[in-house]
Structure 1
Amino acid sequence: MKIPENIDRILNLGILDEDSFLVKKEIRLANIITVSCSIIIFIYGFINIWKFPIIGIANFIGASLMILTLGFHAKRKLKTGQIWFLTSMGLLLAFVNFISPNTTEYFLISLIALSLLVLRDNISKIILSVFVSAAIIIPKYLDYSFPFLEHVAKHRLIFNSIWGLVILIVLSYYLRSIQKKYQEEIEEKSAQINDLNRDLKHLFAIIAHDIHSPLQSSTSMLKDLSGTQMSSEWKETAIKLVHKQLSTLQINLNNLLEWSRHNMQGLQTMPEGIMLAKIVNETLKSMEERFLEKEIQIDIQIAQDIQVYADPIQFTVILRNLLDNALKFSNPNGLIAIKASKEKENTSISIEDHGVGIDQQFIDSLFHTIKDPSFGTSGERGTGLGLVLVDKLIQANHGTVKIKSKPEQGTTILIDLPNR
């Protein structure tokens, strides 16, 4: 078990977590080539040392020099490591091809291909390509022989040629696979960026939506205070109501900003057990003045022990949006019923109003399309964002939402959320 781990550690020398996918693959590829070539050349050294001792010694020296490339990579001297490896390999192959012509031609061709793929600056590519080309061509035009070197057998030349071509093909295939994976990662990152942008838009939309309604109500009340004759007692009561509503708005805004700060990298859900009756009452209290203004009665039928498993701030946003819609489209002196029942794994919640209702042809698109702002039964202006945000947040909390409605008969919103 230790051997694969140690090998993997060697192949990952010089790679940092913050490196891009392409850089990681380039470094790993360079390490793989360094290790595999060094091993192969060491093997060639042992094969050659008996019949071709000079070539065998050159193999051992070249392989030792190439191993030093890993040291450069470990110190993050990546370009130096690449040049060192290619130069060491080039000198070794050129030397062997000089004293024993035609034995390393395909290895030299593979080296050119490798340099073109690995090196980034054109000057280094040109220098190495010229050097390798000279190492291939010059021995063909020189008439010389070394008496201490035996003639290389034909089958050995064929083996070297085949092995050189195999290395070239494998290298090309590996680099192509890296390119394909890199393209896939680019597409994946692009999708993640699109999702992040969409989530950030939703976050800002949630903040805008949750500020809009209570601020509008407070503005309306302040306008009434400044524009009409009221008794001192009524003015005092109205000022207290405005102060309470603005204080609640400030608390909600602080909660939303804190939540947004934690969600700047995308919508993040941190679910926990929430006592449903408690959070419904708290949400209704923050909207109390608006319900009183429209004289809407609230009927709550939720057992104290029922809970949902959801992100508390997200669930509050869901509730506030749905109650805001129910309030907006209820007729004055109307009734809104909030009920809940505990199932085996889910808690079912319904919010029912007896207001204007929705035509069936519009229901399907409510959760998926941002609409033009609509107006409630008392002229309350919406944002067109509410139900789109609700659907987004309910999905994030592994729940579902449905609408049942008939024109002039009211609307029922049905939510299912996990209870554990």
Structure 2
Amino acid sequence: MTKLKYYLHLLTHIGADANSSYLDIKRICMVNIICILCIIPSFVFSTINIFQERWILSSINLLTGMSYSVVLGLQYFHRPRSAKALLLISSTILFFISGLLYQNGAQYFLLSVLVVSMLLYDNIKYLSIGSGIISCGILIIYSNPDIDFIEAPVHKDRAIYNILSSLVFLITAIAFFKRVIYNDKKQIEEQRIRLEEINNEKEKIFSIMAHDMRAPLVNASIIIDIFETNTVNKDHMHDFIEQLKRQLKDQHKVLDQILTWSSNSMKGAPTIRTKICVVKALEEIINEFKIHYIRKGIHIHVNVNESSFLFVNYDHMRIILRNLISNAIKFSYQDGHVYISTTEDEQRIYIHIQDEGVGIDMEKSEALFNQVQQRSIGTSNESGAGLGLLLCKELIELNEGTIHIESQPNAGSTFTVGFPKYTAHDSNANMDKEEFFTLQNSES
């Protein structure tokens, strides 16, 4: 059965070029199917008509079979236009002659040719000319039902057979192209969905750039402002230069991480989770905001279990925690406090990020993770992108995590994000915490 399907595929795809469009390939297949279905009956009826002494009709059947054989040859040599033209022209002429002289129902094959020509050609000019010629041929056959010809008309059974064959042919052709149209619509819908996914990925990338690249740039800008205003003495100049160098290095590191993450995401790469030490991850992220929170006089208090390990995607975790810590600093008042702590249960480790800032009422807080927010302004006029928390929720769900918010206006907010706890059964984690952070530092 498998070999039969293989050979049928070879026959129906004679002359099909992989570089051709989907519709052109299907049209080539349609021409091949017509020829394959009609060649054998043409030669069979040619033989039958010889025994019935219908020499002219036998010759017409023989020419029909030969023309279809030539069509397949043209297909093989990648000349589909010539093949289509020969198929339609020869069929029209030969079916018209046999239908007119022998009243064998060939006019129904002419109708089939008309339908096939409409399926195979898009050019209105060709379709109009062909349709006019075929329609005239059908009318002529019906207008002259009793032509006295030197050979007797075929038996009524033969005419009925031809009529049924033409109807089957019509149904097959229409069903074939209906399937083509359905497949086209299916492909278009799949492409539309993929385009939506790509647009969503672009929005995520822009959001990450807005959040993750802002802090190092702001910090570097602060140091430059200090240099410009000459508010730093020579003794501290070296320290500020070192900080500026570190900020530029951090900026380069963040950019590399964004490009790596966005490239993998756009290519549909799977989410790879690894063993992550909570303390070290938080230390790296908090250090990136050092100048920013020191300038606002904010005190960050960290109370995290050093033996806590997450099983998450490192890039996703950084994006999530950077957003939450950035928001905590952004919406805290001058000289405020931010508290970062962890709790855990059997399955997850929960990271709590609490601030004493502006807060938000619960009705608005429920919408933070479900829709794009308007750009928000922090307590020191820091701007926001509006996509951060929506992106965080999606990334948290990719890592089988949870997120929860408790907030009151003017009393601060507490964001709690839970990630799966690392266990020895997590076979996807192929490096421990020291190896992973060594790799991250070497890449940066």
Q: Which amino acid aligns with 1:3?
A: L
**What is the CA deviation profile of residues 17-60 of structure 1, one whole-angstrom value per residue up to 9, with x for unaligned ones?**
56544344333333333333335545545655543664455434
Instruction: Specify the alignment match of 1:384 in structure 2.
Output: 386
Q: Work out the CA distance in 2 between the residues paired with 1:113 and 1:418.
A: 65
Q: Does 1:236 align with 2:238?
A: yes
Deviations, residues 115-147 of structure 1 (Å, cap 9, x unaligned): 122122234334433443454455554843124
Equivalent pair of 2:356/2:413 in contact (CA under 8 Å): yes
The partner residue of 1:300 within 296, 300, 304 is 304
Q: d(CA) in 2 for partners of 1:211 and 1:414?
A: 22
Matched residue of 2:368: which SS?
coil
What's the CA shift for 1:66? 1.7
Shift in alpha-carbon separation, 1:60–1:262, aligned structure 2, 3 A: farther
Q: TM-score, normalised by structure 2?
A: 0.79
Alpha carbons of 1:320 and 1:160: their partners in 2 closer, same or farther (altered >3 Å)?
same
1:360 corresponding residue in structure 2:
362
Q: 1:113 aligns with which of 112, 115, 120?
A: 115
* Distance of aligned partners of 1:364 and 1:44 in 2 relative to their CA distance in 1, 3 Å threshold: farther
- Give SS of 2:353's match: strand
* CA distance in 2: counterparts of 1:410 and 1:61, whole angstroms: 87
Query: What does residue 340 of structure 2 align with?
Result: 337
Instruction: Write out per-residue CA displacement over residues 91-113 of structure 1, whole angstroms, 9 at most, x where no aligned residue.
Output: 43234224423431101111112
1:273 aligns with 2:278: no
Which residue in the other structure is 2:94 paired with?
92
Q: 1:223 aligns with which of 222, 225, 243?
A: 225
Q: Which runs of 5+ in 1 are unaligned?
A: none
Offset at 1:83? 1.4
In the alignment, the residues of structure 1 paired with residue 400 and residue 70 of structure 2 have an alpha-carbon distance, to the nearest angstrom, of 54
Equivalences for 1:36-185 in 2 at 5 Å? 36-42=37-43, 44-45=45-46, 48=49, 50-51=51-52, 54=55, 55-56=57-58, 58-133=60-135, 135-138=137-140, 140-141=143-144, 143-147=147-151, 150-185=152-187
In structure 2, list runs of 5 or more residues that go unmatched: 427-444
Residue 410 of structure 1 pairs with residue 410 of structure 2: no
Which deviates the most, 318-327 or 168-177?
Answer: 168-177
Q: How many residues align?
A: 413
Q: Which moved more, 1:173-182 or 1:77-86?
A: 173-182
- Secondary structure (helix, strand or coil) at the match of 1:325 reads helix
CA distance in 1, matches of 2:282, 2:14: 56
Distance 1:196 1:98, change over 3 A: same
Aligned-pair CA distance for 1:175: 2.9
2:257 paired residue number? 255
Deviation of 1:206 (Å)? 1.8
| C-alpha contact 1:302 1:338 (8 A) present in aligned 2 | no
Indicate the residue corresponding to 1:4 in structure 2: 5
* Cα gap change, 1:316 to 1:114, in 2 (>3 Å): same
CA gap 1:339/1:97 in 2 versus in 1, 3 angstroms: same
Helix, strand or coil: the match of 2:213?
helix
Deviation at 1:160, TM superposition (A): 1.9
The more displaced of 104-113 and 199-208 is 199-208
1:97 maps to a residue whose letter is G
Does 1:213 find its partner at 2:215? yes
1-side partners of 2:13 and 2:20: how far apart? Answer: 12
**Equivalent position amino acid for 2:120 in 1:** V
Partner amino acid, structure 2, of 1:339:
T
**Rounded Cα–Cα distance in structure 1 between residues aligned with 2:235 and 2:8:** 83
Per-residue deviation, residues 196-226 of structure 1 (Å, max 9, x unmatched): 2232232223223322222123212322332
Query: Match of 2:34?
Result: 33
Contact 2:95/2:109 (8 A) holds in 1: yes
Following the alignment from structure 2 to structure 1, what is the Cα–Cα distance between the partners of residues 249 and 332?
Answer: 26
| One-letter identity of the residue aligned with 1:66 | Y
Q: Deviations over 1:265-292 (max 9, x none)?
A: 6x65442424243544433343344355
Contact 2:352–2:416 (CA<8 Å) still a contact in 1?
A: yes
Contact 2:101 2:153 in 1 (8 A): no
Partner residue in 2 for 1:22: 23
Higher deviation after alignment, 208-217 or 178-187 = 178-187
Q: SS where residue 296 of structure 1 aligns?
A: strand
Return the offset for 1:245. 1.5
Amino acid paired to 2:299: E
Instruction: Report SS of the residue matched to 2:118.
Output: helix
SS at match of 1:301: coil
Q: Distance in 2 between matches of 1:273 and 1:73?
A: 55
Counterpart of 1:303 in 2: which secondary structure? coil
Give the residue type in structure 2 aligned to 1:199. Answer: E
Per the alignment, do residues 217 and 17 of structure 1 end up closer, same or farther by CA in structure 2, a change over 3 Å counting?
A: farther
Which deviates the most, 253-262 or 196-205?
253-262
Note if contact 1:211-1:253 (Cα within 8 Å) is conserved in structure 2.
yes
The aligned amino acid for 1:301 is N
After TM superposition, the structure 1 stretch with the greater mean CA deviation from structure 2, 227-236 or 101-110, is: 227-236
Q: Is the 8 A contact 1:34 1:66 kept in 2?
A: yes
Please give the alpha-carbon distance, in whole angstroms, between the structure 1 residues aligned to 2:344 and 2:51.
87
Point out the more displaced range, 62-71 or 100-109: 62-71
Give me the whole-angstrom Cα distance separating, in 2, the residues matched to 1:52 and 1:107. 23
Distance verdict in 2 for CA 1:219–1:11, change over 3 Å: same
Q: How far apart are residue 248 of structure 1 and its match? A: 0.2
The code of the aligned residue for 1:327 comes to I
